[in-house]
């Protein structure tokens, strides 16, 4: 599996990945109606302003993508048919090789598969917060704030 920086030609693939995986994520959190397609969410949440925007590919097919700042993992989506096959872990390993100070993320309450994945990466729930959904502020959400110590 190869992880590399996002290129414009990746847009159709990450749009498909986001839209299918985001629906699953929102379903776990009981927020089906809050779905926004990537063509809207990317602009509202400034996806392309993140200093790290990466895709994981195998045999020329994009299987997942992630976006981060120097300290926060903000987006990580894997095509549902490729979940639990190492794509998310490959993205994570690449991100921390570029941004080793990443130490915080948020997971929608109810999205236990994501929470368990991040716990396997060394993150622990440090608290819970309630607020407006970024990019779709009509919805109130509860999130787990997860942190990792930087020596893990």
- Give the domain ranges of the chain: 2-147
User: How far is it, in rounded angstroms, from Cα 75 to Cα 78?
Assistant: 10
Contact present, 103 and 71 (Cβ < 8 Å): yes
pLDDT tens track, the chain, 152 positions: 999 999 999 999 999 999 999 999 999 999 999 999 999 999 999 999 999 999 999 999 999 999 999 999 999 999 999 999 999 999 999 999 999 999 999 999 999 999 999 999 999 999 999 999 999 999 999 999 999 998 75
- The pLDDT, as a whole number, for residue 1 is 96
Please count the other Cβ atoms lying within 10 Å of the Cβ belonging to residue 133: 18
User: How far is it, in rounded angstroms, from Cα 146 to Cα 128?
Assistant: 9
Which one of 3.30.1600.10, 3.40.50.620, 3.40.630.30, 2.40.50.140 gives the CATH number of domain 2-147? 3.40.630.30
User: How far is it, in rounded angstroms, from Cα 41 to Cα 32?
Assistant: 15
Residues in the chain: 152
- Strands of 61-68's sheet in order across: 2-5, 52-58, 61-68, 73-78
């Amino acid at each position: 599996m190869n992880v590399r920086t996002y290129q414009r030609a990746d847009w159709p693939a990450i749009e498909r990945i986001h839209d299918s995986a985001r629906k699953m994520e929102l379903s776990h959190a009981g927020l089906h109606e809050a779905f926004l397609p990537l063509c809207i969410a990317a602009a509202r949440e400034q996806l392309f302003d993140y200093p790290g925007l990466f895709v994981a590919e195998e045999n020329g097919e994009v299987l997942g993508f992630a976006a981060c700042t120097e300290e926060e993992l903000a987006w990580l989506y894997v095509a549902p048919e490729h979940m639990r096959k190492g794509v998310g872990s490959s993205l994570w390993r690449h991100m921390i090789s570029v941004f080793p100070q990443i130490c915080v993320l948020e997971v929608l309450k109810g999205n236990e598969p994501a929470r368990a994945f991040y716990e396997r990466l060394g993150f622990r729930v440090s608290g819970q917060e309630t607020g407006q959904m970024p990019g779709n502020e009509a919805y109130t959400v509860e999130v787990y704030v997860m942190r990792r110590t930087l020596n893990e």
